[in-house]
Structure 1
């Protein structure tokens, strides 16, 4: 019965000549766009809307409050109700988030905060359900792609969305009418055809959904795997922690020297960070080794270098050094996000993949709160001091990841590299 249902679902998209994973990837891209389009506008909100640096950093991290529940609950909901239904809800949440953010330019901090929550829920669904769904559709019988292709496809599409969103937002805010409004409406309009594609051009991999109690579905035994605890957990918060430093903290450190160019520079730095994150991912694939934590350790080493380069930026206020920081931390982000996904796919049974993806991304997005923490502490400490402390913490986490180099490997994993 299962095989027949799966075969029927598999052949449907072939009539439309669309790879089974592509419509899901487009949805992940669109949601990533909406989740990160707010980032380069921090300076605009601070300069033109009267918000303090703490205010805008709180808004930047606010969607973590929506994202983490979305990550942890969405996977269980998709097991019960199917991937398609939950992913469609994610696209709708992304569109609502953009509409509310557009209203927030007139109604103030409250709607902006709520809009960021909606965006967070959407990104949580994209990461937990979208990543797992793409991974499922990148394996037989749906696709004959190489091992690890699902992780790369998911991370690349998400990273592209995270990069294109800020680029369009910044350009529309600077050159188009209705700044801080039109950019959100454009994204909301984009969500309409994407929602149609999710509903009509996807393959449902959860043909027979589970009827186990909802609370039991929230349990993720793979999260207690020693490999996950010793290698993935110490690295995960640095994934978006490093990205947040690159395109939320560093631009503010050089803004005074850029004057009216500060917003466009922030856009450029955001695109540079995430562009490096995308371009480095083929290298991440080659660095990955099923018998060691090599890729994870390399990503952490790059993060450490990038953080200490950010210290130099804080001291000198140099836009050139800031660009170097973006390249280092962007490359670290790209290697880390792929290596972490490959690690969890090796230790997780198929029916726990969405759940462990949710836990992984929840830990990763804790790092996105770093700019708000630093802004709050700036009343007592300078940024060179705080970033130096962050760099020391990165060194410690690198050592912890290295200590689990070849420990607690999954017995299900063949002793070969992922290609």
Structure 2
């Protein structure tokens, strides 16, 4: 069967599998809040600890990805992703195993991003610019969106909602792992696209980009909002309302809606960025401000239907901010530096997974939910204005 599938499709299926394992937990938050009787602080910690595993793995693997073949880290990512699910399943009665499983899932995701994307680029047609990157985006998005949706729907009608949903991912890992094992590692056009040689000079261009005003003045300001908006939609907003009917399935659909909106708006974001560089970032921050304002209103006047208004707004913000950030990196970098600077950008985006934990910590001890979200709205609006101001600065040529 594996030999009948194109090599790029086998690699893409592996990335979907890892994305599925990374985000399936998001569709089960109501399981751990309700039937699992875990505290909101624990649930938020479990969401955030994923980033603690992902960010170091992302930076380390991105740094060494040109010294090893693409297949090795991708294989390990699929295995680690499956291990993460097994640990979370075993943690149905042990909190520390859930946290460890989420950490391992983060490591798996961080390890697959750079080499998986690069491998798809290697296996894609040389005369079709951007094909590999688009395939990687679609593959990960299918996993990020499909995982929580399917897991939540399975859990809603499952006799063991903290265990059985993860078996879907284990089955997917078994199939994709089998397909991946025989995939060729060396691309046909490897001689035309030699890999960069590691060394002190290799990092000089990336460091120069990271010090540029167009990077420092925009990317650190907007990148954490990428997943900060997404986690607000599926981990914070649902705590404002009580869902009496099908609570797990409702949470899963909200999560799926957020991520689908984020993926669906990206083609529009690319067209916006093509016509006016920087527009996607300030529009994304404006959407974030509106979504946060509506979330704040939910804590005063809670209505379930508002979840399905907040989800696409914050999901759209997530998608536009992702496109805008990657576009900014592409403009500022030369090809040899792009993987390193992209890794830094992704690391900044995943800081947003700390949002639910910080929200719980601050609302329990410092300030009310509505006030905190109102402050977040003001910060998002101010960030949008700051990005508009940056758009008026002269265009910077790629450094390296």
For the criterion TM > 0.5, the same-fold answer is yes
Deviation at 1:314, TM superposition (A): 1.7
Taking the aligned partners of 1:361 and 1:58, their CA distance within structure 2 comes to 20
Question: 2:381: which partner in 1?
Answer: 395
Taking the aligned partners of 2:122 and 2:271, their CA distance within structure 1 comes to 22
**170-179 vs 84-93, greater mean Cα deviation:** 170-179
| Distance verdict in 2 for CA 1:351–1:190, change over 3 Å | same
Contact kept, 8 Å, 1:63 with 1:120, in 2: the verdict is yes
Contact kept, 8 Å, 2:331 with 2:397, in 1: the verdict is no
Q: What does 1:125-144 align with in structure 2 at a 5 Å threshold?
A: 125-135=111-121, 137-138=123-124, 142-144=125-127
Contact kept, 8 Å, 2:27 with 2:147, in 1: the verdict is no
Contact kept, 8 Å, 2:214 with 2:390, in 1: the verdict is yes
Taking the aligned partners of 2:166 and 2:109, their CA distance within structure 1 comes to 16
Aligned residues: 392
Question: 1:417: which partner in 2?
Answer: none
SS of the equivalent of 2:271 reads: helix
Contact kept, 8 Å, 2:202 with 2:337, in 1: the verdict is no
Query: Is residue 2:303 matched to residue 1:321?
Result: no
Taking the aligned partners of 1:215 and 1:112, their CA distance within structure 2 comes to 42
Question: 1:268: which partner in 2?
Answer: 253
Question: 1:378: which partner in 2?
Answer: 363
Question: 2:211: which partner in 1?
Answer: 224
Question: 2:101: which partner in 1?
Answer: 115
Deviation at 1:291, TM superposition (A): 6.0
Q: What does 1:82-101 align with in structure 2 at a 5 Å threshold?
A: 82-101=69-88
**Could you list the runs of 5+ residues in structure 1 that have no partner in the other structure?**
1-12, 414-419
| Distance verdict in 2 for CA 1:126–1:223, change over 3 Å | farther
**323-332 vs 208-217, greater mean Cα deviation:** 208-217
Query: Is residue 2:221 matched to residue 1:234?
Result: yes
**Per-residue CA shift, 1:223-245, capped at 9, x if unaligned?**
33433222322111111000000
SS of the equivalent of 1:315 reads: coil
Question: 1:75: which partner in 2?
Answer: 62
Taking the aligned partners of 2:204 and 2:234, their CA distance within structure 1 comes to 33
Contact kept, 8 Å, 1:241 with 1:367, in 2: the verdict is yes
RMSD (CA atoms)? 2.7
Query: Is residue 2:331 matched to residue 1:349?
Result: no
Query: Is residue 2:392 matched to residue 1:411?
Result: no
| Distance verdict in 2 for CA 1:182–1:398, change over 3 Å | same
Deviation at 1:154, TM superposition (A): 2.9
**127-136 vs 243-252, greater mean Cα deviation:** 127-136
Question: 1:60: which partner in 2?
Answer: 47
With normalisation by structure 2, the TM-score equals 0.89
Question: 2:168: which partner in 1?
Answer: 186
**Per-residue CA shift, 1:129-172, capped at 9, x if unaligned?**
3334445555xxx34335x5444433333222111000111122
Contact kept, 8 Å, 1:76 with 1:218, in 2: the verdict is no
Deviation at 1:345, TM superposition (A): 2.5
| Distance verdict in 2 for CA 1:318–1:185, change over 3 Å | same
Query: Is residue 2:293 matched to residue 1:308?
Result: yes
**64-73 vs 392-401, greater mean Cα deviation:** 392-401
**Could you list the runs of 5+ residues in structure 2 that have no partner in the other structure?**
none
**Per-residue CA shift, 1:51-86, capped at 9, x if unaligned?**
110011001111111011011101122111122211
Taking the aligned partners of 1:381 and 1:273, their CA distance within structure 2 comes to 27
**Per-residue CA shift, 1:341-369, capped at 9, x if unaligned?**
22223323323332222211110010111
